[in-house]
Structure 1
Amino acid sequence: MNDASAEGHEADSLLAAFALGSLDLDEQAELEALLATSPAHQKELRQLREVTALLPYATLAAEPPAHVKAQLFARVEADRATRLQAPAPSAAAPRVRRPLRNWIMPGFAVALAVLVFALGNLTLTLGSTVRRLDEANRELTTAIAELQQSLSETQGRQETLSGQLADSQEQWLAISNQLLASEDRIGQLNARLAHDEQIVTFVSAPGVATRQLAPARPDQSARGEMYMYPGEPNAVVLFSGLPILETGQVYQFWLADGSSEVAAGTFQVDSTGITRLVVQAPREVNAFQRVMVTVEPDGGSITPGTTVVLTGSL
């Protein structure tokens, strides 16, 4: 190795010690003179100082083992004693430039070891931090996927509940319509019951007069019974055995005197052939001489038709 290479190697070693602040004044002066003429060494010193600035953040402070501390202080004390025992240079003697020594002081060796150890710890710390961040990222990704799955299931349940609610509303509407229809039917039945009670009261009251209506032809089995009060315009007629008429036809009841016939109502019969009719005459019923039932077009007629079913005298 030539002198220039040796000095360059020595300068590289001393640069690290200079960055750590462990050179004595003579070595520091010689290195500063070298730095003034070497941009490459200036750049390397800047890089070493940047690394040294990171050392406080590389690892947690730790107490070195007792034997390491004792050995370090012993070496520093030995180096100090050697320096004190060395003869002082003569004041008159000219100062001779010392060649850069190819050595690393004990303090620099320890500092360099600490630097290497700290950088290793920094690498391990960064690696551990990266692993923790990667694990946290995987956990977050899993949590997001589970949350999305839960959200999808919740939306599915909401859609199901919405469908069930719509079905329930339709069922409730149908039940409401049935209830309204039932209420109408009940109203009709109540009205019919009240009407029937009125008829029963009418036909069973004392003083009521009864008249029979007979079939107009011998082959018919229909019958009628008329209940009335003398001097009253109201009467009740109960019919039985009447056949069901064709569509568009009705039975019509007539009151007749010697000169005219008065229409007193129309009616239909069910499959039993039984029905009743409340008559509202224009004057007292017993003022008429006879009654009859005819078959007329739907809506009734002004005058009786030719198809007479029942007749009777008052």
Structure 2
Amino acid sequence: MNEEHLHAPSGAYALNALPDDERAEFERHLEDCSACAQEVRELSATAARLGSAAASAPPPAMKARVLSEITTVRQLPPRTPPGATAPPAGSGRAWRLPRMVLAACVAAAAAFGGVALWQHQEARQAQQQAQRAEEQAADMARVLAAPDARTVTGTKGGAKATVIVSRAENSAVFLSSGLPELPSGKTYQLWFDDGGTMRPAGLTRADGGLVMEGDVDGARGMGITVEPAGGSPQPTSKPVLLMALPA
């Protein structure tokens, strides 16, 4: 990301529309730029408010009514510059431009409902993403604050992974940093190890944190593999990292 454009992606970031690499770079920028951090907070709040707004399409009969009334509206003659000759009667020039304008208005009216609906859907998606992030943060806080929370950390090369487990909450939080960036079409997938049987536990980025999907139950370990985008029902590659979970 060019230095001059370093402040630009705040809107896309607030709507979760940045690719993973640009998101990571912009998050590093946010740590040192209070102005962008404030702008992201304001944009996220605005998107959430927009998501609760109601958008309505124009009445279905509007287009037909406008088209039917076009022929009943008296068109004004075109302006004739000084010294110029007015177009002969019946030449069509007297109504051609106004009718084109009316047709454009009809098209705009017909499209307005679609644009409003698109804006409403975009805002709703942003609100849902913000809500999911808030729920995820609350779930993480509950596990981290649990009296029985236990932590295990594993490292491999420059990568580090930490798992916090609460058996009372029957949940685990996964944190990672330094995992190698993956090519397009690949993702990191988490797994619970149920006595040698690997159970899917969610997808993660190279640097991130999340509540692992599913209950801990009797899992005694966890693993990380590289899988096709969208994940796999069973591991398809050797584990990047394996760790025993705290009892």
Structure exhibiting the larger radius of gyration computed from Cα positions: 1
Instruction: Tell me which protein shows more helix as a share of its residues.
Output: 1
Higher strand share: 2
Normalising by structure 2, report the TM-score. Answer: 0.50
